Structure 1
Amino acid sequence: MDKIRYKLLLYILISCKLMAGGVEILNFYEEIPENNILKSYLEIEKTKEYDYQKWRIAQGNSLLGKDYKLDYEVIRKKDKVEYQSGNSKGWENEFTLSKKFKEYQIFSKTWSNEIGVLWKYEQLDYPEQFGTDIARDKYSIRYRMRTNSDFGKGGTYWGVDFLGSIVENEKKDGESAEINIVGMTNLGYGFQTYTTLFNEYLNYGVSNGAYLMRVENIIRWSYELSEHFLFSIEANTNLYEYFGDTDYEYSLKFNIAPYVQYSFKILENIRGFAKIGIGGYEYEDWKAKEYRSKKSGYYFNSYAGIQYVW
């Protein structure tokens, strides 16, 4: 079944006409006239106890025809924990096909909106001594709203996502429902912030009608050193708080690090890019019913890849 699934994903990527409206170059979004984008890169993340590797084989958002859009991400990952004698390997893939509707006015603002179907697949093979491998399929219907406001020197782009999902996994199949508020603000003077407030009802796996509140925030400052180089400092915060019948209680993860970024044209339509971490700090604290972990220390993250636009 897995072989058939991945052949289908590869067919979709190769056969569909991909179109996009912009790219991010050295932390700044730029509109482009081209129709097609393909992005691939390898990311490495290291802490005192963990070693993560993610190869994003393909990542993008694309327009199919006039009103239909394909968002996709195919990730091959490998995790190494200090006390393990082997690596954990798996996949983390997501595909969304959505239809765009006409814009409308609410409270003197123009809102774009779309409805889509989403499939998210996560799979992890553990070393033999750590027990059963895991796999999860999540099938969702998503309605999305987006608008702009004048907050910040560069403005704010924000909106709401509504999702209803059916989840299949090895513990207990079930369902979930989400209302997520997202926002990106250009504060000016090189500062940007990205925030998502997740609100999710969980009724699958080890959760039985539980509620998850999650806050994800990125604050970064960027300074252009030249046409091809940029220096930045980024702070990332992820907070999970669980309520109700579930094995989880909460988790908090924070890291801050400086980076040097490089972007250059290999050919007219092929761009290489890299983001090299100089070394930073991470704090992590999480608690479940039968386990508690708290640690802090060195943090390193870097990635490099190519982007093809045509």
Structure 2
Amino acid sequence: MKFVRYADGPSSRVGVVTGDLVRVVDGPADLLPLIEAGEAELLAAGRTALRRGATVPLPDIVPLSPIATPPTVRDFYAFEQHVRAGRAWRGLEMEPDWYELPVFYFSSPYAVMGCGPWGPAFHQQAEALARRGLSAVLLEAPGQGDTRMAGGLHLDGNVDRAFSAALDAVRARTGYDGRYGVWGNSFGGLLAARAAVHDSRFGACCVNGASAKPEPLPFRTAREQSRALLGVDTDDEAAAVLRTLWLDPAVERTSAALLVLHGGNDPLVSLDQQKVFLGLSARPTLRVWDDGDHTVYNHSAERTEFVCDWFRAQLGRA
């Protein structure tokens, strides 16, 4: 039985996937209450939905994370089936001591990523950070991903508060009080830089393919995305909101180390536009891929490894 949580206007719904349809589970907007009620309750709710739940075409839904706010996150080593399968792949028997003392890992420090419109799209980067002992929060800024589709939020000049609130939440849940990093791709790079400027808890910031002074782009799809992100109807309104986000190194600075990535063939952002960010920090680094596309997607693996090594070097210092 396949459950799904999906956007329903400013809220969300839970359903069961059957073929090309989703059968709506009546009541809950999140899977967590059903899971907490126990397997029997979860399956009963699913069977009821399959018998008489309202139908929604599967291609029409906007899927969301199954659980809006997980109460805890465990790495794979906390689960017997993963440990058993992993050891079998290496030709090993199950380790008996695991049953006496199951292990899982605490990772630190934290790298908060304001990368793009859908946080789950950046799991590969999060995994690369995790391999270096860096935990990651895949953060969707207001107007991006679930924040707009499920929460009805839009981006404005107060976006910096969202990143600070994310750090507050991480600290409250983990007790971690060290340095954090922030990594943004494309327009998210500007948001990452603004976060580093306005919150001194950020010790490292990566800007990848952004303009410090964005304007509405002359492409229909880009204009439509900008209007949806900002919650406006015209290019003039979009431009007015974007101007509230501009950064000027003459008056704004960050104590964080700053890494700027640029693709030489980027059709959207020029090297000169990117170089503006370097003036925000006393510790700037510029890395250019001469044949790189926008956000260096055509060298994504190399780019990700380079950035994660840089974050580890910056945040791993005593």
TM > 0.5 fold call: no
Q: Larger % of strand: which?
A: 1
Who wins on radius of gyration, i.e. which is larger?
Answer: 2
TM-score by length of 2: 0.25
Q: Larger % of helix: which?
A: 2
TM-score by length of 1: 0.25
